[in-house]
Chains A and B, each alone.
Chain A
Amino acid sequence: MDQIILQILNGLDKGSAYALIALGLTLIFGTLGVVNFAHGALFMLGAFCAVTVQRLLTLSHEVVDPERTDFLGNPLKVDVPYVMDIFGESTGAAIIDWSVPLAILFAIPVMILIGVVMERGLIKHFYKRPHADQILVTFGLAIVLQEIIKYFYGANPIQTPAPEAFRGSLDFGVWLGFEANQIIYPYWRLVYFLFAAIIIAGVFAFLQFTTFGMVVRAGMADRETVGLLGIDIDKRFTMMFGIAAAVAGLAGVMYGPINAPNYHMGMDFLVLSFVVVVVGGMGSLPGAVAAGFLLGILESFASMSAVIDLIPGINQIIIYLVAIVILLTRPRGLMGRKGVMED
């Protein structure tokens, strides 16, 4: 029992990342009908927003500390970050410590901007072209974005640690009445899951309860009619592209402490997210979220040692296996709408 709960928990954080990326992919596909292979790159850009914020906050200048000396007896030079000068030492240290959550504030406008520029500058010209062309051009864009990041930040992963307060682990089992140290779960993964849940709820609420969201949903159902009613649907869809980019970016920002960001992390997630979208049903938002968590949890179940002993290697292929079975038996995916890309 405790093993099962542990695996569910382990699957949640990966599942959250899959769900967030798949949600953005589906938003773009549902509104603009574009298959965006560069979405993984947006996730990666988000993670590097966190790296950028961390670098900006730790920008330092050298100060000679008269009280301490180095091993030669000379006065020691210490790097003092500018934030400490501005906000005082303790506040400054706290700000640096909280650089990852702070990066969210930085990432939202940046990612929306990147998304809007991408849509207006490139994707717009591909609405009328075949899906294969869309895949190819966004695949090229993904390579370009990834190489730009590699040029500026290097090929090695860069650590973006979580704030001090979240670095430990939670003894989750005690809460449920198990013995201590049975179910240990890092705080940050819990934070990530909660964060993902909030974002997902936020996106759904935005689509469901605002006028803007209502228009977007109407546009997803019948773009032409909405256009004929005198609403500039293109502008809203562009905005939705920005929002989808921001969702992917936020997923990346918060993922940094779980896995140190590197330039090819987007590609690794992209393949899986596409599988998630297809399993959930092309164009279905709840499907994407459900499939994301489902596959994340399935993956962590498959990596239990008992399962691996039974079917060796299953943990590596379970997601693809599920996708193949679903695609062949239920081409619409789990919750796909009828008639959307169903062939």
Chain B
Amino acid sequence: MLGLNKKDGTLLLIVIGLTLFAPFLLNPFPVESELAQFNAGYPDLMQRFVIFGIFAIGFNILFGLTGYLSFGHAAFLGAGSYAGVWMMKLLSMNVIPAIVAAVIVAGLFSVLIGYISLRRSGIYFSILTLAFAQMSFALAYSVLTPITGGETGLQLSLDDPRILTGGAEGGNLPVPSLFGLEMRDSFDLVLGSWLFTFNVGYYVCAIIMIAAFYLAIRIFRSPFGMMLRAVKSNQQRMSYTGLNSRPYTLAAFVISGMYAGLAGGLMVSMDPLAGAERMQWTASGEVVLMTILGGAGTLIGPVLGAGFIKYFENIFSKINDQILHGWFAFLPDGLENAMVALVHPFIGKGWHLTLGILFMLVVIFLPGGLVEGGQRVGRFAFRRRNKKAEGAEAEGAAKQPAE
């Protein structure tokens, strides 16, 4: 199917299924129930899942395949955001030009930074990308204020020209749309005590993410992808065989920069506001966290990691002591209070602590991320089932290359 083998085809179908039915899957609890706070099926969060999914998929094409650890990828996301908002200010509120411009600007920007940074590898590459991103952040924050809006960020305003559609009619700011379909439009489906929200913006993002994911599969399986893997496993040997690795790494860098720009463009299409803090190195660190947590170098890992982090960022931080007391209510009073006190630092505002610990555990014990964890569990179950039937043969099957 579409030039994919059976395994990849299934993976793609699973991802398509998951993203298209996400409004159902993420809202498993009835509205009135106590567990409703764990529902993640509201448009804002769902959009963030897929947008950061795209960002992480792109980052993974660089880091997962070539092993070049960029600590400045947020710069491209930021550049894409600014380009997107400018398109909305100058042309029209249609999201298509905004997204296209975001990808192109981020691509050009990453050609420039990649060309210079890729002259070094290893830690020097990380520092160079970090330095460029911090420079972009500092400039966007101060000198480039006429272009970037500085501290307040770049916003739409009523007197923007918007030459394709004319200025704003009435006194309201126009909203981003796709040929008349407003991004914020939602359709609520009530089924018994369940409520499912279908949001236009989410589906635009979801379809683009599926396309981006498909492209990533093709890149992973292409001869070009093999070359990138060769860079990771042994760059020296690659150059001894007469291959120049620079064009390949640069291409990977630009592709992943364009993915980041795409994510930035989508971000402003959902909410037309771009701020400089999107370029800060903590934002770059976040996408590194997502990719590693999910599993660098695997196809589905970054998407899982992005979803995981965004879900827990929003849901974990909502849990408070009262809810905890509810959970541990079955324990005797003293023990209940002790348990609440024990868990308290890790929830609510302490979510970053949980994330940090989790991230360290993953790097230490599961270098393959959540995907490797899942594989290990699967292998364990698989082996036990097969042991009875086939005995030693299961060993061979279990040693399939991790993907």
Q: Which A residues have a C-beta under 8 Å from some C-beta of B?
A: 35, 122, 125, 130-133, 135-137, 139-144, 146-148, 151, 267, 271, 274-275, 278, 282, 312-313, 316-317, 320-321, 323-324, 327-328, 331, 341, 343
**Residue numbers in A under 8 Å from B378 (CB-CB):** none
In the complex, the answer to whether A324 meets B124 with C-beta atoms within 8 Å is no
Say yes or no: is B126 at the interface (Cβ < 8 Å to chain A): yes
Query: In the assembly, what is the distance between CA of A312 and CA of B139, in Å?
Result: 9
Query: In the assembly, what is the distance between CA of A320 and CA of B288, in Å?
Result: 21
Pick the contact of B120 from A135, A313, A327 — CB < 8 Å?
Answer: A327
Query: In the assembly, what is the distance between CA of A94 and CA of B111, in Å?
Result: 60
Instruction: Say yes or no: A271-B281 contact (C-beta < 8 A), given A132-B69, A313-B143, A328-B119.
Output: yes
Say yes or no: is B79 at the interface (Cβ < 8 Å to chain A): no
In the complex, the answer to whether B127 meets A278 with C-beta atoms within 8 Å is yes
- A97 to B: closest C-beta gap in Å: 34
**Residue numbers in B under 8 Å from A137 (CB-CB):** 360, 363-364
Name 7 A/B residue pairs within 8 A (Cβ), A-sorted. A122-B364, A141-B356, A275-B131, A278-B123, A316-B142, A323-B127, A343-B122
Query: In the assembly, what is the distance between CA of A337 and CA of B116, in Å?
Result: 23
Interface centre among B67, B122, B132, B350 (most CB of A within 10 A): B122
Query: In the assembly, what is the distance between CA of A282 and CA of B122, in Å?
Result: 12
In the complex, the answer to whether B135 meets A274 with C-beta atoms within 8 Å is no
Majority SS at the chain B contact face: helix
Query: In the assembly, what is the distance between CA of A278 and CA of B122, in Å?
Result: 12
Pick the contact of A271 from B134, B144, B367 — CB < 8 Å?
Answer: B134
In the complex, the answer to whether A316 meets B352 with C-beta atoms within 8 Å is no
Query: In the assembly, what is the distance between CA of A275 and CA of B355, in Å?
Result: 27
In the complex, the answer to whether A313 meets B121 with C-beta atoms within 8 Å is no
Instruction: Say yes or no: A143-B139 contact (C-beta < 8 A), given A132-B67, A278-B127.
Output: no
**Residue numbers in A under 8 Å from B356 (CB-CB):** 140-144, 146-147
Pick the contact of A313 from B123, B127, B142, B357 — CB < 8 Å?
Answer: B142
Pick the contact of A324 from B67, B122, B128, B352 — CB < 8 Å?
Answer: B128
Nearest B residue to A151 via CB reads B345
Query: In the assembly, what is the distance between CA of A324 and CA of B128, in Å?
Result: 6
Say yes or no: is B292 at the interface (Cβ < 8 Å to chain A): yes
In the complex, the answer to whether A147 meets B353 with C-beta atoms within 8 Å is yes
- Nearest first, the 4 closest Cβ-Cβ pairs linking A and B are A313-B143, A143-B356, A316-B138, A147-B353
**Residue numbers in A under 8 Å from B363 (CB-CB):** 133, 136-137, 140
A-B contact count (CB 8 A): 108
Pick the contact of B350 from A133, A147, A275 — CB < 8 Å?
Answer: A147
Nearest B residue to A144 via CB reads B356
**Residue numbers in A under 8 Å from B350 (CB-CB):** 147, 151
**Residue numbers in B under 8 Å from A327 (CB-CB):** 120, 124, 127-128
Nearest A residue to B344 via CB reads A151
- B250 to A: closest C-beta gap in Å: 15
Instruction: Say yes or no: A133-B131 contact (C-beta < 8 A), given A331-B120, A341-B122.
Output: no
In the complex, the answer to whether A274 meets B138 with C-beta atoms within 8 Å is no
In the complex, the answer to whether A313 meets B130 with C-beta atoms within 8 Å is no
Instruction: Say yes or no: A271-B130 contact (C-beta < 8 A), given A131-B123, A144-B353.
Output: yes
**Residue numbers in B under 8 Å from A143 (CB-CB):** 352-353, 355-356, 359
Mask of B356-388 contacts with A, CB within 8 angstroms, 1/0? 110110011001000000000000000000000
In the complex, the answer to whether B131 meets A140 with C-beta atoms within 8 Å is no
Nearest A residue to B130 via CB reads A271
In the complex, the answer to whether B123 meets A267 with C-beta atoms within 8 Å is no
Say yes or no: is B320 at the interface (Cβ < 8 Å to chain A): no
Query: In the assembly, what is the distance between CA of A331 and CA of B128, in Å?
Result: 11
Instruction: Say yes or no: A324-B120 contact (C-beta < 8 A), given A140-B360, A317-B139.
Output: no
In the complex, the answer to whether B281 meets A320 with C-beta atoms within 8 Å is no
Interface centre among B127, B143, B288 (most CB of A within 10 A): B127
> Told that A135-B126, A320-B132 touch, could you supply 19 new A-B pairs with CB distance under 8 A?
A122-B360, A131-B123, A133-B363, A136-B288, A140-B360, A141-B356, A143-B359, A144-B357, A147-B350, A147-B356, A151-B350, A151-B353, A282-B123, A313-B139, A316-B139, A317-B135, A324-B116, A327-B127, A328-B116
In the complex, the answer to whether B123 meets A135 with C-beta atoms within 8 Å is yes
**Residue numbers in A under 8 Å from B123 (CB-CB):** 35, 131, 135, 278, 282, 341
Nearest A residue to B352 via CB reads A147
Query: In the assembly, what is the distance between CA of A278 and CA of B123, in Å?
Result: 9
In the complex, the answer to whether A320 meets B134 with C-beta atoms within 8 Å is yes
- A153 to B: closest C-beta gap in Å: 13
Query: In the assembly, what is the distance between CA of A327 and CA of B131, in Å?
Result: 11
Query: In the assembly, what is the distance between CA of A133 and CA of B144, in Å?
Result: 36
Query: In the assembly, what is the distance between CA of A137 and CA of B367, in Å?
Result: 10
**Residue numbers in A under 8 Å from B69 (CB-CB):** 132, 135
**Residue numbers in A under 8 Å from B138 (CB-CB):** 313, 316-317, 320
Query: In the assembly, what is the distance between CA of A11 and CA of B374, in Å?
Result: 52
Query: In the assembly, what is the distance between CA of A157 and CA of B308, in Å?
Result: 31
In the complex, the answer to whether A148 meets B120 with C-beta atoms within 8 Å is no
**Residue numbers in A under 8 Å from B141 (CB-CB):** 316
**Residue numbers in A under 8 Å from B120 (CB-CB):** 327-328, 331, 343
Query: In the assembly, what is the distance between CA of A15 and CA of B97, in Å?
Result: 47
Query: In the assembly, what is the distance between CA of A278 and CA of B134, in Å?
Result: 16
Say yes or no: is B282 at the interface (Cβ < 8 Å to chain A): yes
**Residue numbers in A under 8 Å from B353 (CB-CB):** 143-144, 147-148, 151
- A265 to B: closest C-beta gap in Å: 14
- B237 to A: closest C-beta gap in Å: 14
**Residue numbers in B under 8 Å from A274 (CB-CB):** 127, 130
- B335 to A: closest C-beta gap in Å: 22
- A332 to B: closest C-beta gap in Å: 10
In the complex, the answer to whether A320 meets B135 with C-beta atoms within 8 Å is yes
- B344 to A: closest C-beta gap in Å: 9
